[in-house]
Amino acid sequence: MNQFIDRHHTIILHNLVTMYVEIPTATEINITAQSTEGTVRQIQEVIGGTIEERWGEYTLTVNNLNAHGTIRFITFDWGVNLLEYDIIFHKDYVLVMDASEYNPVHFAYCLVGHCGHRFGYQKEIRSLEQFQSVIITSRDGGYNYGYFPKEEKLEINVIQIARKKYLKKRLNNVDQLNKKLYEVFLDTDHENTFSYFGTFNLKLADQISALRKIKQKGMIRILQIEGMVYQILSMHIQQHDRAMKEKVLPTTLLKKELKIIRKLAKMIIKDVSKNYSLEQLELETGLAQAKLQEGFKLLYTRTVTEYIRHVRLEAARDLIKTTDMNISEVVYTIGFSSRSYFSKIFKEKYDITPNEFKNLAALPVEEVSDVV
């Protein structure tokens, strides 16, 4: 919707301009709950649907005139909750969240679509853009307003941290955080608001997409999700830390160009043996070679050539470990022509020759542990 965001607005990655929009007329969902579960149940009271639970994973499924899709949440015993929207609202909705009783730190990311946020004392809405890392928390007694536009496909990942419970965990060393976030985590009396609207982060998109694709069931599924939630949380924190240290790389790439580069990187992974060249990739993507290099350095900290070599070596390692191919066959399969060159760069990357790795992979687990 136009009142939320101009989808064709030019955005500079290293200096993302916060976008403000007028407050729209929307159906309110008042949230006074003291937990994520209570929040979802209060949403259910307004939009309908049914909630099912399996191994501590709750899913609200809605298919009516109000919305179509799911909202799921999982509560972990270390003061962290995962809340995920995969839904299309058929009306404009605003969540009015009272921070008096339940006021976690929100680490939010829009994988698909966009939404809005404002604190109660603000008059204008800040837009949470697709692919943008956002950290928000309110003060005690304050209000958070979350705006969801109608007929917009939303895939939103939110990690919520209850500070007092989180700080009781011995492994949660918040003193390792930068000063800004350290103060947020130690503000257990919730005296201050905090918001960070970061730059685009497509590595987070990959991690969150992988989280959504977990197929296992039961306790194994929950444990895998928990591990990935930790990784996603750490990526939010690392990005904020880089921003505070002014390590965000300047770039003139637009969001649509970054999406092209991300798509290209996935294509390379799927077909590692193809003979890639910068000239050919420039023609296929419509992006100048300089922009291709800039994008790969920004997203994958490698040049295009370094990235291709990296994914080929990763593919080679998997083939050596999981197939009966000899080394020459592996070299041909991943697109290299020189076995000696392959052996050289494999040793440089993994500190072991391909033959040594193949012999080690063939050993029973007990013997491998003895060797290590």
The C-alpha atoms of residue 91 and residue 185 are separated, in whole angstroms, by: 35
Residue whose tokens read 């201050």: 192
Torsions phi, psi for 35 (to 5 deg):
-160, 165
Residue 299, pLDDT above cutoff 70? yes
Q: Which range (85-94, 255-264, 350-359) has the least confidence?
A: 255-264
Q: Which residue has the higher pLDDT, 236 or 175?
A: 236
Query: Among 192, 197, 182, 290, which residue's Cα sits nearest to residue 239?
Result: 197
pLDDT (tens digit per residue) in 325-336:
999 999 999 999
The C-alpha atoms of residue 185 and residue 167 are separated, in whole angstroms, by: 8
Q: In the structure, what pLDDT confidence band is assigned to residue 253 with cuts at 50, 70 and 90? A: confident
Q: Which residue has the higher pLDDT, 315 or 3?
A: 315
State the pTM of this model.
0.69
Q: Are strands 80-89 and 132-137 parallel, antiparallel or unpaired?
A: unpaired
Domain boundaries, the chain: 13-244, 255-366
Q: 96 pairs with which residues across the strands?
A: 30, 145
Residue 367, pLDDT above cutoff 50? no
pLDDT (tens digit per residue) in 108-119:
999 999 999 999
pLDDT (tens digit per residue) in 148-182:
999 999 999 999 998 888 877 645 666 667 777 87
Residues 6+ apart with CB under 8 A from 211: 157, 225, 228, 229, 232
Q: Which CATH fold would you assign to the domain 255-366? A: Arc Repressor Mutant, subunit A (1.10.10)
Query: Among 303, 288, 209, which residue's Cα sits nearest to residue 253?
Result: 288
Residue whose tokens read 């608001």: 193
Residue 228, pLDDT above cutoff 90? yes
Q: Which residue has the higher pLDDT, 176 or 141?
A: 141
- Determine the pLDDT at residue 268: 93
For range 81-88, the mean pLDDT: 96
As a three-state string, the secondary structure of the chain is CCCCCCCCCCCCHHHCCCCEECCCCCEEEEECCCCHHHHHHHHHHHHCCEEEEECCEEEEEEECCCEEEEEEEEECCCCEEEEEEEEEECCCEEEEEECCCCCCEEEEEEEECCEEEEECCCCCEEEECECEEEEEECCCCCEEEEEECCCCEEEEEEEEECHHHHHCCCCCCHHHCCHHHHHHHHCCCCCCCEEEEEEECHHHHHHHHHHHCCCCCHHHHHHHHHHHHHHHHHHHHHHHHHHHCCCCCCCCCCHHHHHHHHHHHHHHHHCCCCCCCHHHHHHHHCCCHHHHHHHHHHHHCCCHHHHHHHHHHHHHHHHHHHCCCCHHHHHHHCCCCCHHHHHHHHHHHHCCCHHHHHHHHHCCHHHHHHHC
For range 113-130, the mean pLDDT: 90
Q: What is the CATH number of domain 13-244?
A: 2.60.120.10
